[in-house]
Amino acid sequence: MYDFEYVKPGSVADAVAALQSEEATAMSGGQSLLPTMKARLAQHETVVDLTGCLQDSIRVERDGDIFIGGGTRHAAVARDSVVPGWLADVAAHIGDPAVRNRGTIGGSLANNDPAACYPAVVLATGATITTNTRSIAADDYFQGMFTTALEEGEIITEVMFPTGVSEPGRVFNANYQKFVQPASRFALVGVCVAQTNEGVRVAVTGASEDGVFRWTDAEAALSANFSADAVPPAPPADGMLGDIHGTPEYRAHIIHVMTKRAVIAMG
């Protein structure tokens, strides 16, 4: 690890100010950042710890929407009784205990690792990402591997899952199926299927060179007929990731299998 300055601002405004320097980086749970720093793969003059200014809390507001503070750790999401089971299950299976006890939903979404779990769930459920400056729809937020709509100095303060009864796109059920890469236990392929008032949404993580994406063919088929048999054949392998754990063809096939399993799991 290279030497660095550590600051822990007490307010979002102070954090934004601290992040003005080009050599500064934001850290939430640090579960992705710190390993790269320890391996000297990243060098930052200043690490701005956001855990002093972001909420680590979950609340239900309006008529059933779930609001999760940007600094909320996965372990808290996994065990909070107000969180729907499909979302708690996702959080309960992210990483290992250390990752779940330090890593946060805001950090995961800001990093947008192409094999992370939360992006698929946020995208499939049409969640809204709120920052210090604006609210961003999930469909506008994810812009490719490790790339998001966040601008310099923009910090995720809250994530809203539209589970309230008056939401036009209300999510009334969802399921995330993770097929793990055996070594890292990240998603080799992760598929989240969500049933909403506006139809079925299907989002896929781990598989694409473009990061998390919506599988629109499956959405159309499942919106018409929500059954495992309706899941279309595997999407084209072209554009899928390939590595020593899975070729593009295999990943494409697993998208098909995991989508079916999500549908079956949703009964």
229 binds other proteins, rule: CB under 8 A: no
**Shortest distance, CB of residue 118 to other proteins, whole angstroms?**
19
**Shortest distance, CB of residue 224 to other proteins, whole angstroms?**
23
The total number of residues shown for the chain amounts to 267
Give the separation between CA 21 and CA 258, rounded to whole angstroms. 43
**Shortest distance, CB of residue 3 to other proteins, whole angstroms?**
7
233 binds other proteins, rule: CB under 8 A: no
Residue selected from 81, 168, 183, 238 as contacting other proteins according to rule CB under 8 A: 183
Give the separation between CA 246 and CA 18, rounded to whole angstroms. 41
Cα–chain center distance at 48: 21
246 binds other proteins, rule: CB under 8 A: yes
**Shortest distance, CB of residue 43 to other proteins, whole angstroms?**
10
In this structure, how many other beta carbons lie within 10 angstroms of the beta carbon of residue 46?
15
- 229 Cβ contact list (under 8 Å, min separation 6): none
Give the separation between CA 263 and CA 267, rounded to whole angstroms. 7
Q: Sketch the per residue contact string, 247 through 266, with other proteins: x for CB under 8 A, - otherwise.
A: x--x--xx--x---------
What Cα–Cα distance (Å) separates residue 58 from each residue in 36, 88, 103, 105, 197?
29, 12, 15, 11, 24
Pick the closest to residue 175 from 157, 195, 160 (CA basis): 195
44 binds other proteins, rule: CB under 8 A: no
**Shortest distance, CB of residue 73 to other proteins, whole angstroms?**
22
Binders in 133-172 for other proteins, by CB under 8 A: none
> Considering beta carbons, is residue 8 or 245 the nearer one to other proteins?
245
Q: What is the binding site for other proteins (CB under 8 A)? A: 1, 3, 39-40, 179, 182-184, 186, 243-247, 250, 253-254, 257
